[in-house]
Structure 1
Amino acid sequence: MEEEKKIFIDKGLSLRSEEVNEVMGNVPHRVFRIGTFIFICIVALLVAIGYTLQVPNYIEVPYIVSGNTSAIGIVSKNAGIVMFRYNQPHNINEGDTIATVMNGNDSVYSISPIRGIVENNFLYTTGDNIVRGDTLARVISCELPNYRLILKISRNIKSEILCGMKIKIITKETMTENAVGYIKKISVIPDEANCYNAVVEMPINIIQNLPRFGKARVLYKQENVFTKIFAHRNKSAFE
């Protein structure tokens, strides 16, 4: 039975012409051309996306938060007898006299440098003798501290940092999505630590909640996907 079936199949194949067998054994040219065209389109689309899609590159830079103090100590510039203008905490304007120190015929006035609330040093009262350098009072400013975020840029990356660049702050206490700012200006001359200072423009409510020092991510350039991949491979090869 199996031999008869095999003979039948062989006869069926032998009945086909040589042209039919050739067509059945080869892929039609039209199908091949369409498949090749679709493959080329897919590759071209991926290449276009790779060159169009930009990947951000960041540099980590140390930062510090600086700001004027909310309280300023008033220090005596000479020795003598102190005469306070008021004995209780009170409001004071910039330029008002806080105390007068008299030494013989000489009188030296202690002037408030800011507007705020003055508190006398409770160790002294009017008529006490003081020496030069004693703290007479402190003035608590009515103004909010002028916080500034400053990046410390080393010489080797100075050329990569420009005004207008976007930065993000990296800290455990801060949400990086919110802590975003831009470089406002960069010093021309390096400081005593041989670093250039870059002032960052950022909302004051974010700066005042940042740690006093940390690291910031500076978006210094954008590259397409292929450039990023090839640069990473070259770097890995050299390492």
Structure 2
Amino acid sequence: MDKREIRLRSEAIQELMGRVPHWMVRWGNSLILILIVGVLVISYVIKYPNSITAKVLVTTTNPTQNMYAPITGNLAEVNVKDGQMVEENALLTTFSNNETDKSIRASNTGQVHFVDFWKTGMPVKKGELLFRIVPTDYGAYIGRLELPHHLKMKIDEGDQVRIRIAKDQLMEFEMLEGVVQNITAIANEKGAFQVEIAIGDALVSESGKKIDYQLGMSGTADIITEDLRLIERFFYRLKDIFND
């Protein structure tokens, strides 16, 4: 009797343990549904765009001008001082090598900055950088970059651009926004196409911080070719799989 009673009780307990309560089934299904909906919502909210990355130079529509020596010779006279404001076409300096005389005039209105302590009679070589003229009005800020033909074909005017300024040029990481505004139709001597990005009249980061412009400021540009959401990318991937 004892063995049979134990066996009967054991079977009853096993049957009870194997029976899942209805409330647990209902809540389990609800939890799974909530998780699925949550994943779909997150996949819709999160963006995962296609982009092209390239190095970019941040400059202006009225950039700083470099003035170079047109010939090898001596400075016959220096007509300006370091830091002086000059008007466009103002005479900066003249050269002489006993064969010919040349002069350099300001290419734009701005402030002259010497790259050396230039004085009358000093020798200079052809192509040597003498002055920089910083304009009084920079104009609008733009980004310039180059792309090979196969990447140039993937972008269009109006594409959104996010520019990460190099960390070594700022105290902290900053991101700028821009738009592709010009793409050259013909490649340069390196076989690359020039792309111009409109940034705006001021350098303002995504966080709202104003950034001081620096000559030679550079960074990395991400050109958004397709502004996809994560769920769109998932379905595109499924479509590619079934098409294969």
The verdict on a shared fold, with TM-score over 0.5 as the criterion, is: yes
Q: Separation in 1 of the partners of 2:17 and 2:91? A: 108
* SS of structure 1 residue aligned to 2:37: helix
Q: Separation in 2 of the partners of 1:184 and 1:228? A: 24
Unmatched 5+ stretches in structure 1? 77-81, 102-107, 125-132
2:161 to 151, 163, 166: 166
Does residue 1:210 correspond to 2:210, yes or no? Answer: no
Q: Separation in 1 of the partners of 2:33 and 2:131? A: 73
The two structures, once aligned, show a CA RMSD in angstroms of 5.2
Q: In the alignment, residue 205 of structure 1 is paired with which amino acid? A: D
Structure 2 equivalent of residue 190 of structure 1? 186
Q: In the alignment, residue 210 of structure 1 is paired with which amino acid? A: M
* SS of structure 2 residue aligned to 1:169: strand
Q: Do the aligned partners of residues 161 and 35 (structure 1) sit closer, same or farther apart at CA in structure 2, a change above 3 Å counting?
A: same
Q: Separation in 2 of the partners of 1:177 and 1:44? A: 36
* SS of structure 1 residue aligned to 2:40: helix
Structure 1 equivalent of residue 176 of structure 2? 180
Measure how far apart 1:142 and its partner are. 5.0
* SS of structure 1 residue aligned to 2:52: strand
Unmatched 5+ stretches in structure 2? 96-101, 204-210
Residue correspondences, number: 208
Q: Separation in 2 of the partners of 1:110 and 1:32? A: 88
Measure how far apart 1:209 and its partner are. 5.9
Structure 2 equivalent of residue 129 of structure 1? none
Q: Separation in 1 of the partners of 2:59 and 2:237? A: 37
Structure 2 equivalent of residue 6 of structure 1? 3
Structure 1 equivalent of residue 48 of structure 2? 56
Measure how far apart 1:61 and its partner are. 1.9
Pick the structure with greater CA Rg.
1
Does residue 1:72 correspond to 2:67, yes or no? Answer: yes
Q: Separation in 2 of the partners of 1:134 and 1:39? A: 78
Q: Do the aligned partners of residues 24 and 51 (structure 1) sit closer, same or farther apart at CA in structure 2, a change above 3 Å counting?
A: closer
Measure how far apart 1:62 and its partner are. 3.3
Q: Separation in 2 of the partners of 1:207 and 1:12? A: 85
Identity of aligned pairs, percent?
12
Structure 1 equivalent of residue 145 of structure 2? 151
Q: Separation in 2 of the partners of 1:23 and 1:117? A: 93
Q: Separation in 2 of the partners of 1:85 and 1:23? A: 104
Q: What TM-score, normalized to structure 1?
A: 0.55
CA contact (8 A) 1:93 1:114 kept: yes
Measure how far apart 1:110 and its partner are. 6.4
Measure how far apart 1:197 and its partner are. 1.5
CA contact (8 A) 2:149 2:192 kept: yes
CA contact (8 A) 2:89 2:106 kept: yes
Measure how far apart 1:178 and its partner are. 0.7
1:94 to 66, 85, 88: 88
